[in-house]
Every structure is written in structure tokens, then in C-alpha cells.
Structure 1
Amino acid sequence: MTDELLAIEGLGVDLPSGGWLPSRGRPAINILSGVTLDLKRGETLGLVGESGSGKTTLARAVLGLQPISAGTLRFDGAPLESGSDFRAIRRRTALMFQDAAASLSPRMSVGEAVVEPFVIHRAPAGDRRAKALDLLAEVGLPPEMAARYPHELSGGQARRVGVARALALKPALVIADEPTAGLDVSVQAEILNLMADLKDRHGLSYLIITHNLALIRHVADRIAVLYLGRLVETGPTAEIFARPRHPYTQSLIAAEPRPDPRLRRADLAIRGEVPGILRRPTGCEFHTRCPIARDICRSTAPALHTIGTGHFARCHFPETTKKGG
């Protein structure tokens, strides 16, 4: 058995340019290109980037919910190529949705929602009511919660129900899309502590998609940074926060709110708007917003440079970038 649970190699995703209408010969829109990542057993990998960077598309591709146009996927050493391959691994994976309340059917009680994975996958659950109560107890919810409906839940309670449902089939991998979105700071801490406790208790691996760098700084073992569907930097969390090597990563870290405005890094602020994917910049796609862009950045796409053990950055000048802290 290898330590590698999930392996993504050269992943590409294209979408039709015509939407619901026929494309009429127009080229497909490239969403993801050349993404190579791995996730080890018991590891938490944070996937960060601005809206539209392709984070959720990557998660959907991993689960077979989004067809891929290039590259390969492997889960626990087995290739994911056909519909049956993805159906098989969905029993070993779970997805925590960004809007926990909206992901619950208003017609189903909490108890019914929690055991719904057993119904979908036709898995034996024994006494389903007892199983629902056990799962709710594991995420810190009382038994009477099983009779409630989604509109009766607070944001934190709905999030805990989502965690309980994700745990139902004892997954190896949990993909959490913005797991603390819309929650008060104190409730965010409770959810993160719960996820950490469940990870240790069940040996879970997490792929966490988030904009919240303060969150990912404290929970992730490694970070992967996406920009316009390209992986621009990946490496150990502590190392990336101590010395990020890609200007985009530096800018994201510099944009974190600081209690003292004198500590803000104006020289690392991201300039301009995210370019449209229909008109991608030539060369390095970040050069239109990069504070250190040079002529080569405008004409030539950079290669992925090895910075250190497990640390990579896609930049022409990874050794000359400024510290983002």
C-alpha cells in the first residue's frame, strides 16, 4: 500500500464555448491545464486562489462530476477512467458543500439526510435511525436534532449535519468546499476543531477549498495555489507562508487582514482585475497584474521550478521575489 491516496497528473478540463447552444466550430474554453498534484493518506491539502481560478472544477473532476480533457487520475493506486471507476470511489469519498443548508433537502428531516448516503449507494446500515443518532452524536449534535428540518437549523448546526453525512460511509477522502463560509469566528473554530478531531479519529484525508488563508494556514499540511486554472505554487504550508516564491502567492498572503495597518504590504498588492479566460494573457498569465513582471514574462510561459523538497513555483524569477509576510 502506497502513502499516496490521490494522484493528479497533467489534468486538463475544457468546456464548450457555446454553453447550452451549439458551439458552431468555436474552440472549447480551457478551464484547467496541466495540473499535477498528489494527496497522501492522513494529509490535509489546501487549494487556494481567487474566484474563477478553477478550484471547484478541480474537485468535481476528481469525483468524476466534470469530464476531463487531458491527464490522468488515480485513487489509492487505481486509475480513474470510466464511469464505473468513479462510481466505485464515490463510496470512499465525500463532499462537504459550501452552502451547507442549501445542500440539504427541505423535504427530508436531518435524520433522513444523514443516512441518505446508505440509500444512494445501497449500503447496509442496519437500524438507520440508530445510525443517524450515532453520526449526529459524533459531530456534537443531540438526538432531538434528527427530527428537525433544514430551515430549523443554525448555520453551525447545518454545517455539522453536512459533516455527519460526509462521514456516513467512512470515506478515505473528504473534499470540503469553503467549510467555514458564512459562520461566526467562534463557530468557525468549532468546525475546524471538529474536522481535526475526526481526521485523527478516522484517519481521514482532506482536500480543503477556500479563500480563507488564515484558516488554511492553521489546518493544512500543504498548499496548492491556482491562478486561471494553472497551478502556480505548491509546497509545505509553513514554508510557503514563511517565503512564498510566486508573486501571486505573495499577494494573496499580503492581502490577509492585519490589525495594524502599518504592517500591510502595498508593494505586494494585486493590481487590476482577473483576466477573462476567453482572452488569456500570453506568456505568464499573471504578468498583467504582477509587480515584478519583465519582458520575458509577457512572451514566454514559465516552467515549474523546484524550490526545495516538495516546493514548486511556476515563475521566471522565483529566487528574486519579495517575502510576502
Structure 2
Amino acid sequence: MKRLQSLLRRLERFPHTLVPKSILRLIESLNGASSSWGPGRALENWVHGQPWRKALPLPFQIEVPIFYEDARGQQRTSGMHYVLLPHEILGTFYQFEAADLMMKLTGGPGALAEFWSHEQTTEWFRNHPILRVTDPNFVIPFRLFGDGAESSRKQKFEILTLVLPVVSHANRSSATMDTRILISCMSGTYCNHYSRTRILETIAWSFEALSTGKYPRCDPWGRPFTAQYHPHRMRLAGKRIAGNYVGVLEAFQGDQDFIRILFSPSRFFPGNFAAIIAGHVNGFIKMTTPS
């Protein structure tokens, strides 16, 4: 936050005709914040007031188990975690009144067909239950990227990101801001096998919805959406997510630790994420790791 405020103070010295009005309003809001938590609240209020905020879906809230140690030894509790759902990202991008947002997923005219043309001779493509029967111009590939990250205070986080391979292929760009969307970030202090499982089950469920092209009627564990439970998701249930578009999990991407976590034979829960996705792609799992 201090770095942001420092940058904005420098922008404030520019002629105001050169600075977007939305940034000037943010500067004014932060300047008016009085307490230690005020700048954070001011930034949050500013974000919610921006028109592009509608291009992001509401995060999906899940309860995850948390383990920690204190003087009494290892303790277990639970906490709330928030995930941006891949199928809802596609839906909000499609509905948002800006064509360039969908191009962030599709790569532009003809990019999807050109991307898939390089895969058509592979066994993975020929046996894929979606790709073999769907017009490639309407199949959007996503990769699930997992990695660790450190903050300025050396606290570690475990992050999950959607990678958009068709964009990097079409534009020959690998810039992080152009080709990735952060969907989950959890403190490494609390992230464990159980909480990670809960998060991955949620993402797998979202990919199943992407593959059908329709909004789901139930949550990842079979509880129906109702007027009291996720009412806005109940109103979307069964509707097309983005016209004729569907999405597929094109690959996993990450270091050896991430791949080991996903596919380790010692995974402790039945029907693990690998099995869920294997069913989604008819048993053929395509994985990529950085060289």
C-alpha cells in the first residue's frame, strides 16, 4: 500500500489533464483516508466503483481446514477461502461490454482454430470427448499453473493461476499480465493437504462446468443453489456460460513440487483431483512443466 501511495503522489504532480479521472479520484480518496486501515478501505471502495469491476465474477467462498501450532501443540480449526471460478471468469468476460476482454481468452479471430491445428494429430486430441466433436473456433484452452510465492515479509503463499496459452501463441507473448489470471492464493502457513484438496475439488468442478458450456446447478459437493444459498448462481443455473464457447483443461503447468502434489499415489482422499480431471479428458492428461 505504501508503494502505491508513493506512486500516486508522483502522479499527482503531473498536469491533471494527463491523468485519468478514475486515478485522480483514487488519489483524492487515499488522501482523505485518516486511519491506518483507511487507505485499504478507500482502495477497496474505489475498486468496487470501477466499471471494469463487473468483468470479474464474485469469488466463490469455501470453508477449508486449517492447522497451526501453539503452546498446546498442533491445533485444527477452519477458515474461509475465496476462489475465482474459471467458468465464471469466462461468463463475465463474455457478458462484459468490451470485446478486447474476450480476445484475452480467445486470442482474436482465427486464433483458436490455429492453436488447435497443432494438436489435431495427437492421441490426446483425437480421444478428447470435447475436442473431437466441437468446432475448434469455440473451444478455449486453459492451463492450471501452480507455484509458490513470497511476500516482502518472506511469508510464503501457494498460488493457482489460469494460464491462457492461446493468447501467448497468437501474440508470441509470455508476459504474466497478458496470459495469466490469479484464481487462488493461500498462505503457506495454513495451506495443507486437506485445504488444498478442497480448493482443487472446487476448481475441478468449475472445469466440468466449462466443458459443458453451462452454469452448474449445484456446488462442488452436490448442494443445490437456492434462493438462500448462492441466489445469484441459482439464477444462472443451466444457462449457457458464453454462447457457443466451451473451455477445456489443456495442461497442468508447474514445477516438480506442484506436479507431485497433484498426482502423488499417496494422495489421501478418494476420487482425487487427478481422477476427476482424467474423467474429464477421457483418461489422457496433458501436462507441461517449465524447462
Structure 2 length normalisation: TM-score?
Answer: 0.26
- Pick the structure with more helix per residue: 2
